[in-house]
Structure 1
Amino acid sequence: MTRAKIHHLSTSQQVAPANHLPENDEALFSEMLDKWATRRTGSLRQKVKSVMGDITIVREMTAFVGSAPWYWSEDDFDRWCEVIGVQRNLAVATQRKYQSAIRNFLAYIVDNVKFKNDIRRQYGIDLRQICTSENCIPHVHERELSVERGSFTHDEITLFFEAYDRAIQEAAKFRAKDLRPLQRDKALFFLLYACGLRISEALALDIGSFSPKPEIPEFGPYGVVSVWGKGSRGSGKKFRSVPVTHHLLPPLLDWYIKSVRPKFLLVADANEQALFLSERGKRLGVSSLEARFKHGLELAGLLEKNLTPHSFRHASVTHESLRFSLEAVRRKHGHVYSATTQGYMHINDGMVSEEINRVIASQIDRIKSK
């Protein structure tokens, strides 16, 4: 198929244009769709029918939201997914196809330097990916592999953060420009692990999202984290309080907020409340977090382990289950059902043996001390 025909299909009445987009928005949006279609049918050799089906889906969500893709948010995507899943009751496989179309389109324009610059220049907005593993239906093979690749081990967690300590020392020694991002990333990733937060929850945090826990005054103002977490069955986001259970987190947060974050504020709005900021002074986005996480894996030599940022949440559930009851772990991580919490646990024979030996040794110590 010729390029002219592809352009005609991506902008013709066969794919209804989004409702009420301003003329400039529609022109740029159509160009994005045209280039995306050309890439897929050209160098990627994908079938025209499949490409045009995905363009129809992107147009459909655009009409639903009522604005161009560079204005979309995670909430817009959640509302649209509720419509196709609950109201229209599409099959799970069809819902997954719809989500993949949106995710792939956004991935294309986010990685396209021209479109990123056009959007930043014309609208003052940074293109970002709003579809993640947290708000999309996983493929069957992803669900099957979740146990094998879902969690950090204790040794890997130690290796990961030791690598950050070394990298920060090295960057400080040579006054490298990556020093501040490394310092921010250490605080961000340790918070993800210590509190078992979802990516969206951590990135939505503000500096006022913490409060003291009177029962543990040693943690100062960082005894509890207030988050808006994932709801169940289309119920929308739910508020929950996450208790801080790791003694190293409060001093790390205090250091970050007092010594590191102010340096990001030099290029930020004076009233910016976001806890984690990009180098441009904006709230850190999902795509930036994922890129920085990959950098962290490289530092620690863990790239081959198939870990994702969500692996911190799996590791948190796994490691906390060795310290607290299942009910305590369930509540901390915001799961409705204990079965969901158990699905996050990655307990191997060595960990079970270690726990048994520790309990027995503790009992023997108590007997000897009498």
Structure 2
Amino acid sequence: MLVDPDIGLFRADERVFTAMLDGWRAQMLARGLTTQTIKQRCQLLERFQRFTGEFPWQWRPADIDDFLADLRSGEKPISLKTLRSYSNAVAMFCSYLTHPGYGWGEFCERTFGDIPSQICFEWNTPRHTTDDAVPAKKRSFTKAELQRLFDYIDDLVDREYAAGSKRWLPLFRDSVAFKVCYAYGLRRREMTMLDLEDFGPNPHVSDYGRFGAVQVRFAKGTARDPDVAPC
């Protein structure tokens, strides 16, 4: 596409936009993102393009303002989490287009007389904070509430064991799972995929012995330290 001499002959803008999405898709595949995530992001960019009626080298910050405002002001406004996901996708696409290593800036200037630019900034996209990422009706447990939860589960284990019931074993498993998740800050999938070999010593918490840290091998696809120490 970048060296196609016939690019200006027929529907050049649509062909270039398609090639941009193809290139971005290849980059995301190379980064190891899931095909579902890639599909959703590309579909969002196509939706954004239809909303603006323009192409990436014509996009301006006001375009993302109008797009996000429209999504938040309808009869069923999207959640803040979804809004952040959408703005992040557009920002990542713009970052890809403006990276000099991919050559889209020079190509668009030569072909259309304009260049792509970043349109998502701190002042026109949602902030990412712990407080606004969780709906008001959902909150973290207090330490007292956590202690009551753990005590209650332990009491259930003791009660079933004393009664000679076989249910004490799965209850004990659940009790350990809750405490491991809390101690190491693990998500559900991260906890269920753990193996004994994932644990190791940590010089900062020597009292934990060989369970001072855990290596998360099946983590969510975001930037995160794979070696997690207990809280």
State TM-score, norm by structure 1. Answer: 0.32
State TM-score, norm by structure 2. Answer: 0.50
Identify which of structures 1 and 2 has the higher relative contact order when contacts are C-alpha pairs closer than 8 Å and 6+ apart: 1
